[in-house]
Chains A and B, each alone.
Chain A
Amino acid sequence: MKTSHAHALQLFARQLRWLLTLRLAVQWTTVWFFCWGVIVLALRIWGTSGTFWLAFGLLGILPLTAVAALRARQSQPKFDRLRADYDRLNACGGVLMAEETADMDAWTAQLPAASVPKFHWRSGRPIFLLLVATGFVAVALLLPERLTRLAAHRSLEIGPVVEQLQAEVKTLAQEKLVPDKQADELQKQLAQLQKDSSSYDPAKTWEALDHIKQADSDVAKQAAEEALRKMESLAQAETLAQAMQSAADKGMNAETASQAAQDLATLLNAAKLETGIMDNKIPPELLAGLSGLNPEQMKKLAAALAANKNSLSALAGKLANLKLIDAATLAKLAAAGQGGNPAALADYLAQCKGGGDDEIFSWLAKAGKGGPGGGGPEGNMMWDNDTSEKDLKFKEHALPPSAHLSDAQMVGVSKAAPELAANDLQEQHGALDNTAASGGSAHAQVILPEQRQAVQAFFKRDGK
């Protein structure tokens, strides 16, 4: 081989090796930089302190380049192919390739001057990606610590919810609806939740908050139900106490007074006012001497009952303000606290000659619900004397015949397809009815099923 061509060929091969090495090194470095940047960001976000040593990841370029050089050497084309390409690029017409089997010195003098071909690498995209990766690593390394901390401890915005729950727990504790110890525990849980809440796992936080909210609601509902029961009893007892006071003035006999006093005691005992949510207790001396209360003591008892009703109403109001009970429940409580008609009951007691317990309780239960003026007890439901069925059924009569189609008036045109009844289909003609014996009607023939395959095969195009 002509010396210049041999030298040029060596340069050509070396140039290719360098280019392949550079290309691989750039690609692998880009990938390494992205991975390195992700590792740096992750470590910094997780709170690794002293991140200076992360910069040593830059040294990863050295082994990558070495491996790239080794890989490029392994993947370099064989020498005969390089020589063939050199022969082609220099327009040597196969003379250099022929050197694989023969001495071509006689011909090399006629070859064109040696010129080392240049390799062109479209490096725009790889270099751009490398720059992006480098920028990513730089940002990951130089990002201020406060930003990484921000990303690490991003808490949920649950302050208002926690405040609401804390107020609920505080109210329930004040009203003795939950024990103080349990209330303290709940307050601690809420504070811990607010501190530990994380945007990376919001479901866990929301689930805990929902649990506390549900517990508060359950306690409030139980208290409301209890308050409703006691409010009814208090209202009845208050009505009876007031009626007894008035009836005494109207000359209620002793037997009736004694019976009413026993009924009042029965009502108050059944209400179990001394337990549960009652704040203002009934003075025990009044409860003990219910059968022989003088007017002054009866007045005190009525006042105590009224105070207890007010206390229950206030409790219900607080629960409603915290939305632990709904408006309907609050309305029920208010309705239960409405006393009956003590004046009517007093009249009844004054006229009563030794009435039984059942009559007084029945009267109390229905008092004030009988219409204008208080009224008396409501009438019982009767199930005899069936209602007349007169005029309940329509009389059957035939409609007049419809008008003829010629008398019809067009009210509009629809674009929708007409709907055919099954009978209409039977009136269609056969496929061959319109064909004639001759005259070019063949083109209108319908393709019968047994002919379809042959027609498809005729028009079938080659798939290639």
Chain B
Amino acid sequence: MRYDLVLRVIAKLLIPFILLFALYVQFHGDFGPGGGFQAGVILAAAVIFYGLIFGLADARKLVPEPLVESMMAIGVLIYGGVGIAGLLLGGHYLDYFVLDPNPVLGQHRGIFWVEVGVAVTVSGVMLKVFYMFADRGKADE
């Protein structure tokens, strides 16, 4: 990777804001546009951006591959776990009303965790696909 001062400085300036925006989209998804899927993609885009500017090895150091692979599965498990939690608390599968004494708050809680699950899986998969593609280029040389 060529050393490019302007790109590096701009990337360092931008990446915190991208991460912050991803978190905003994630947690503000109940009130404005956005949600788990968009937040996951933006989160992955921030790391991909980092990988493009600073090289794949640095991105791997930042977000190691085992973590990415487990993120893919953990997201689905969180989502399914919310459903199981509803079952254990005496409701139907994916029934959020029972997650809190106040049914409306239970809905909020359920939606929050479900969105977290979606975001984790989506960003994991996007990063993994990017790592795989970028890695193939290197293996061919």
Q: Is B one of A's binding partners?
A: no
